[in-house]
Amino acid sequence: MPSDFYICVLGSGSKGNCVYLRAGGVHFLVDAGLRYNDVEKRLHDIDVSTKDIQHVFITHEHIDHISGLKKFAKNNTATVHLNAQTYLRVSSELPAHYPVNVFDTAFEINDIRVTPFAVSHDAVDPMAFSFSFLGKKISVVTDTGYATTLVKEQIKNSDVMVLECNHDEEMLKKGIYPWPLKQRIAGKLGHLSNLQAAQTLAEVTSERLRHVFLAHLSAENNSPKLALETVGSHFSNLQLNCPALIMTHQSRVSELVSI
């Protein structure tokens, strides 16, 4: 069995999210929120074809996580994994008799242990995922208003993490968004700020945590520089070793990490 365990973020931000992973020769995606043509193109950039993708894990039904699903399912046969509530919301995107795995607990695909866990977000039953393979663990967490105790427990002992750094709290406060939208984003069912992400990381970090992808940045209320600085300076204030921080992008593939 091949021992490869790779991850890169094909695209991330408020306009669409899609993460690529490969474990033991099994190719899979978390979310399908980029246009199908972009998924095709960006996979091609890393020498992968959409036909190689065997599994797609859906976190929740918001458009920036499923906008490419319909066309993906029309052109491919990768199994779509999602929970029952989310399935009810997105089943219309899938052709009849499309292969679907409706999960309610952790499960295995070959030697990959898939652990879905609930996040705090204004969708019907939003999830995040951890993938464990040959003693290594990668966690993907976006779209959560705060890091609940459950989230923090689940992401402990990760070797690599994708973590939401949605907004800078000051930029959001002073920005042009209407007040109800600001409240939604900053609320418990909204999105993690840079500072919340930094605090969460500092709480769960360990010797094992080597790489963190900063994801789901708002184009209006954040900048890559601010996100990187906020996390970096939080770690240095606490005199903690900071894992390598990797920026993700809305319009291009991130760096690829192999563990």
- Name the minimum Å distance from CB 64 to Zn ion: 4
CA–CA gap between residue 183 and residue 166 (Å, rounded): 14
Cβ-based nearer residue to Zn ion, 126 or 243: 126
- Name the minimum Å distance from CB 167 to Zn ion: 12
C-alpha closest to that of 243 among 189, 217, 204: 204
Q: Which residue is nearest to Zn ion (CB)?
A: 62
Distance of CA 137 to the CA centre of its chain: 14
Q: Where are the alpha helices (DSSP H) in the chain?
A: 36-45, 63-66, 69-75, 84-90, 149-155, 169-174, 179-186, 194-204, 224-237
- Name the minimum Å distance from CB 14 to Zn ion: 7
Tell whether residue 61 is a contact of Zn ion (CB under 5 A). no
Contact yes or no for 163/195 (Cβ under 8 A): no
Phi and psi, residue 219, nearest 5°:
-75, -30
Residue 170, classed as helix, strand or coil, is helix
Cβ-based nearer residue to Zn ion, 22 or 62: 62
Cross-strand pairs, 259: none
Which residue's entry shows tokens 């939208």?
181
Strand-pair category, 257-258 with 53-57: unpaired
Cβ-based nearer residue to Zn ion, 40 or 143: 143
How crowded is residue 172: how many other Cβ atoms within 10 Å of its Cβ? 22
Tell whether residue 159 is a contact of Zn ion (CB under 5 A). no
How crowded is residue 63: how many other Cβ atoms within 10 Å of its Cβ? 9
- Name the minimum Å distance from CB 46 to Zn ion: 22
- Name the minimum Å distance from CB 122 to Zn ion: 7
Cβ-based nearer residue to Zn ion, 141 or 246: 141
Contacts to Zn ion from residues 116-145, by CB under 5 A: 143
Tell whether residue 62 is a contact of Zn ion (CB under 5 A). yes
N- to C-terminal Cα separation, the chain? 16
Tell whether residue 64 is a contact of Zn ion (CB under 5 A). yes
- Name the minimum Å distance from CB 203 to Zn ion: 23
Cβ-based nearer residue to Zn ion, 22 or 182: 182
Cβ-based nearer residue to Zn ion, 132 or 254: 254
Distance of CA 237 to the CA centre of its chain: 27
Give me the residues that bind Zn ion (CB under 5 A), please.
Answer: 62, 64, 143
